[in-house]
Chains A and B, each alone.
Chain A
């Protein structure tokens, strides 16, 4: 676990040494702030439900930008070979990098706590849906990051990694429509993979265990597949 933490800290430092983290955070806060004010002005309701749903869409575009360099850059510069000569296992490298991106995500989400603070100052919103909304956004974005990490492990090119990640996320985003077209058991299975279906109850104030399991599945799958890709480098 100490190795995982060391890799995570190193990766987090790299994020904040480059302008990537600052640009991504600034862009995310500007867009979410704009959406928050727009929804509040139009809805006149002390609720974050609309914002939470829209923020989940924002992450569809932002996550590939965060995850694209995680593994691809190491492979392009050849530092992955150096990393693998250290007494760390592949899963520790992958999990460390995933943890670093999750920490960046937590920073982004922590900065948006200003929005519910405004609601509590000027109104009396229901706390439950705000808490579950944040839980939902965190789980979904973390799952997106795991998929982005896997996409990043497949290539040396950051742009290609971002495009693969975006395409994979888009498939998961639209799979419900495809499932409905297919129909039957196969259609139901395809629809089950839809990230939208599993997200909907969180902004309402409801947490369903199967939705949590779904997102945890994506996270574990992303980490396992990235580890396997990294391991396969040894035999190339």
Chain B
């Protein structure tokens, strides 16, 4: 038994040398599992396997030397790093919440001389009283400089209509495909929110 310990310390194979790679692989597995879960949108087989493998490897790391793992977690540096990470994450979450609230309750200030990007009262009334959903398809060339102007106005119409009015921009090339091959739409021409 004693000779076995001496062998493992004497430069040969030691299970100790595997501990750190196991921990690194475990963390990678957990992060990869979470990333796949987020990207795919459902907790399918791949994220489950990655998460399970990651947790298992981390478990093996702790089981091989529980005292060492605990001392790593309670060391001054680790506690400070943990605090730093927690403060960083808290800051990101709080700032994220501000953005969510900012997007939900946004206000627009139109400083153009003739209020070019502000809907008139009559337009707002029409948008608010749409009897049924309306979809606007705007056919523009790919680099049409007016696209942004149209988007600003159409976005305002869409917000005022309570979601009844939606819109999409279709470039000339995509519109050609759409008319020649049925209702194929180029996803790059859609807005990020899918409107």
Whether chain B is bound by chain A comes out as yes
B 101-113 binary contact with A (CB < 8 Å = 1; else 0): 0110111111111
In angstroms, Cα B46 to Cα A113, docked, is 56
Q: Which residue in A182, A188, A209, A228 is a CB contact (below 8 Å) of B193?
A: A188
B112 A128 Cβ-Cβ under 8 A:
yes
Q: Would you call A200 an interface residue if the criterion is a C-beta within 8 Å of the partner chain's C-beta atoms?
A: yes
0/1 interface trace, chain B 74-93, chain A, CB 8 Å (1 if under)? 00110011001001100110
Secondary structure of the A contact surface, majority rule:
helix
- B contact patch SS: helix
Interface band, chain B: 35 or more
For the complex, give the distance between the alpha carbons of A191 and B99 in Å.
13
Chain A proximity of B151: nearest CB distance (Å): 8
**Contacts A213-B98, A213-B102, A217-B99 hold; do A205 and B111 have CB atoms under 8 A apart?**
yes
- Does A192 interact with chain B (Cβ within 8 Å)? yes
Q: Is A64 an interface residue (CB 8 A)?
A: no
- In the complex, what residue of chain A is closest to B118 when comparing beta carbons? A206
The verdict on B139 contacting chain A, using a C-beta distance below 8 Å, is no
Give the interface of A toward B (CB within 8 A): 126-129, 131-132, 176-177, 179-180, 182-188, 191-192, 197, 200-201, 204-210, 213-214, 217, 220-221, 224-225, 228, 231-232, 234-236
Excluding A127-B113, A131-B111, A220-B95, 9 further A-B contacts by CB distance (< 8 Å) are A180-B192, A188-B193, A191-B193, A204-B148, A206-B108, A206-B111, A214-B99, A231-B84, A235-B81
| 15 CB < 8 A contacts A-B | A177-B188, A185-B41, A188-B194, A191-B193, A192-B192, A204-B149, A205-B116, A207-B108, A209-B106, A217-B95, A217-B98, A221-B91, A228-B84, A234-B80, A235-B77
